[in-house]
């Protein structure tokens, strides 16, 4: 760590609340959960970003990158910065923040990198301000960050990052977020090392849906939510089907069909594209199956000759965590 960054970690700026700096871990998330485009998501226990925030006497948001990604330092162009600026609009008693970003979740990976940045920033700021805002307020601020990242305000990564667990975004205008109970699930993620920009992956989608496809899709969404609540693994597995988005987007991901078929043969309940990709996720009943699924994923990408990362983890019930 260079001395400039160390200085900010060490800074103890008197705040309204606890004083000094607040550090949080902000989780990766899986949006859509196959059939619930823009309305379903869950948080992961791994990987996480780490953010440190403190109050500043300077107006606005000063950003310091302490990671490998060289993200914009202009707060209006930075996902965390835009979310914090939205929060500052509603805190006239606060001048600004120092914000240190230590990201581990690679941008463009499909596991909610931008949401981790936006959600982590506003949850950390809220701790600094003695939790004056509700979780719903924080989702509202964080969506300004998503807009910077993808041009659209969607909450299916942000809401689970802030609330933890599985969340349903019944509506974003006005916000209506519902936490969904779910059984213990193990999640395997493979991230083939290509970048898919969410904005591009949204642009290729068809704007019209056939009624027969819509009927299938809402049957699956209702089945998936019921499967979670009833802890019915078979129903969850049957409902992990997407007839609208996946057929269009999967062409952007080498090996997708092979991964899906072989992971199910290895015992996964099912899965699909994580968010807008290129990561693919699979749900399993237990860790032994989740590890077998990981081996299958590795095998597919070894054969293709494409670099990849994998994660075997569980659903994070807490969301952004204070360190």
Question: Annotated active-site positions, please?
Answer: 146, 198
Write down the least CB distance from residue 273 to ligand HSE, Å.
Answer: 8
Residue whose pair of structure tokens reads 């499909």 in the numeric block: 110
Cα angle 26, 110, 66; round to 5: 45
202 counts as binding ligand HSE under rule CB under 6 A: yes
198 counts as binding ligand HSE under rule CB under 6 A: yes
Pairing mode of beta strands 186-192, 175-180: unpaired
Backbone angles phi, psi at 18, to 5 degrees: -70, -20
C-alpha span between 293 and 308 (Å, rounded): 14
Q: Which stretch binds ligand HSE (CB under 6 A): 29-37, 124-132, 224-232, 255-263?
A: 29-37
Out of 38, 213, 232, 241, the residue judged to bind ligand HSE by CB under 6 A: 38
Residue whose pair of structure tokens reads 């400039």 in the numeric block: 4
- Which residue intervals of the chain are DSSP H helices? 3-10, 79-88, 113-128, 135-150, 158-163, 198-203, 211-230, 233-239, 246-249, 256-265, 287-304
Extract the tokens encoding 241.
């089907």
Q: Which stretch binds ligand HSE (CB under 6 A): 10-18, 32-40, 128-136, 180-188?
A: 32-40
154 counts as binding ligand HSE under rule CB under 6 A: yes
Crossing angle of helices 287-304 and 256-265, rounded to 10°: 150
Q: Which is nearer to ligand HSE, 36 or 164 (CB)?
A: 36
Q: Are 102 and 5 contacting, i.e. CB atoms less than 8 angstroms apart?
A: no
SS3 319: coil
Q: Which is nearer to ligand HSE, 38 or 258 (CB)?
A: 38
Write down the least CB distance from residue 73 to ligand HSE, Å.
Answer: 24
157 counts as binding ligand HSE under rule CB under 6 A: yes
106 counts as binding ligand HSE under rule CB under 6 A: no
Out of 49, 66, 156, 294, the residue judged to bind ligand HSE by CB under 6 A: 156
SS3 263: helix
Q: Which is nearer to ligand HSE, 29 or 56 (CB)?
A: 29
Write down the least CB distance from residue 39 to ligand HSE, Å.
Answer: 8
Out of 54, 188, 276, 316, the residue judged to bind ligand HSE by CB under 6 A: 276
Out of 15, 21, 23, 32, the residue judged to bind ligand HSE by CB under 6 A: 32
With CB atoms as reference, the residue minimizing the distance to ligand HSE is 275
Q: Which is nearer to ligand HSE, 88 or 196 (CB)?
A: 196
217 counts as binding ligand HSE under rule CB under 6 A: no
C-alpha span between 61 and 77 (Å, rounded): 11
Q: Which helix (H) or strand (E) is 28 found in, with range?
A: strand 22-31
Extract the tokens encoding 107.
């941008």
113 counts as binding ligand HSE under rule CB under 6 A: no
272 counts as binding ligand HSE under rule CB under 6 A: no
Burial class (CB in 10 A: 0-12, 13-18, 19+), 229: middle
Write down the least CB distance from residue 201 to ligand HSE, Å.
Answer: 6
Residues of the shown chain interacting with ligand HSE in the complex, contacts defined by CB under 6 A: 31-32, 37-38, 112, 154, 156-157, 198, 201-202, 275-276
């Amino acid at each position: 760590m260079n001395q400039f960054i160390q200085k900010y970690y060490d800074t103890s700026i008197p705040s309204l609340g606890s004083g000094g700096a607040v550090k949080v871990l902000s989780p990766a998330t899986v949006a859509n959960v196959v059939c619930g485009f823009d309305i379903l998501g869950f948080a992961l226990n791994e990987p996480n970003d780490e953010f440190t925030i403190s109050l500043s006497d300077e107006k606005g948001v000063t950003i310091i990158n302490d990671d490998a990604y060289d993200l914009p330092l202009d707060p209006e162009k930075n996902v965390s910065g835009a979310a914090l600026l939205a929060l500052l609009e509603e805190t006239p008693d606060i001048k600004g923040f120092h914000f240190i970003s230590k990201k581990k979740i690679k941008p463009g990976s499909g596991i909610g990198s931008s949401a981790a940045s936006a959600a982590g920033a506003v949850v950390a700021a809220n701790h600094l301000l003695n939790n004056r805002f509700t979780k719903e307020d924080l989702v509202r601020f964080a969506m300004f960050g998503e807009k910077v990242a993808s041009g659209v305000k969607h909450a299916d990564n942000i809401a689970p990052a802030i609330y933890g667990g599985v969340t349903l975004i019944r509506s974003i205008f006005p916000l209506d977020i519902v936490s969904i109970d779910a059984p213990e699930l193990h999640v395997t993620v493979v991230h083939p090392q290509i970048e898919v920009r969410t904005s591009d992956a949204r642009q290729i989608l068809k704007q019209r849906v056939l009624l027969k496809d819509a009927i299938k899709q809402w049957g699956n969404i209702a089945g998936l939510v019921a499967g979670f609540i009833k802890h019915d693994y078979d129903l969850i597995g049957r409902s992990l089907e997407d007839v609208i988005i996946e057929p269009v987007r999967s062409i952007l991901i080498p090996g997708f069909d092979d991964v899906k078929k072989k992971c199910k043969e290895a015992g996964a309940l099912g899965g699909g594209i994580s968010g807008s990709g290129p990561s693919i996720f699979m749900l399993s009943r237990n860790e032994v199956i989740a590890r077998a699924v990981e081996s299958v994923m590795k095998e597919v990408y070894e054969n293709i000759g494409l670099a990849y990362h994998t994660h075997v983890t569980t659903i994070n019930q807490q969301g952004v965590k204070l360190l």
